[in-house]
Amino acid sequence: MGQDSEWQPRILGFLCRWCSYAGADLAGTSRKKYPPSIRVIQVPCSGRVDPLFILKALRLGFDGVLVSGCHPGDCHYQTGNYFTRRRMAITKRFLEYMGIDPRRLQVSWVSAAEGAKFAELATEMTRELKELGPNRLFTGEEQANGTKTAP
Partner 1 sequence: MEQRLRLEAKALLEQGKVSCVIGFEVGSLRFTTTPLITGDRDATGRLVLNPFMANNLSVYLPGIKEKVAVVAKGCDSRSIVSLIQDNKVAREDLVIIGVPCSGIIDLAKVEGLVDKDRDEIDDITRHGDKVLITVNGDKREYPVREVLFDNCLACETPTPQEYDILLGEPTAAAGDESRKAGQEKIARLKAMAPDERWAFWRSEFERCLRCYACRNICPACFCERCFVEETEPTWVMPIPRWQDNLLFQVTRNLHVAGRCTDCGECERACPVAIPLRSLAREMYDIVSELFNYRAGTDKEAPPLLTCYEPTDVEDFIR
Question: Which residues would be at the binding site for partner 1 (CB under 8 A)?
Answer: 50-52, 55-56, 59, 72, 79, 82-83, 85-102, 106-109, 121, 124, 137-138, 143-144, 149
Residue 55's CB is within 10 A of a number of other CB atoms, namely 18
In the complex with partner 1, the residue whose CB is nearer, 95 or 112, is: 95
Helices (H) and strands (E) in the chain, counts: 4, 4
The CB-of-6 to partner 1 minimum distance in angstroms stands at 25
The CB-of-82 to partner 1 minimum distance in angstroms stands at 4
Distance separating alpha carbons of residues 1 and 16, to the nearest angstrom: 29
The CB-of-109 to partner 1 minimum distance in angstroms stands at 6
The CB-of-96 to partner 1 minimum distance in angstroms stands at 7
In the complex with partner 1, the residue whose CB is nearer, 10 or 114, is: 114
Please answer whether residues 12 and 65 qualify as being in contact, where contact means their C-beta atoms are separated by less than 8 angstroms. Answer: yes
Residue 145's CB is within 10 A of a number of other CB atoms, namely 5
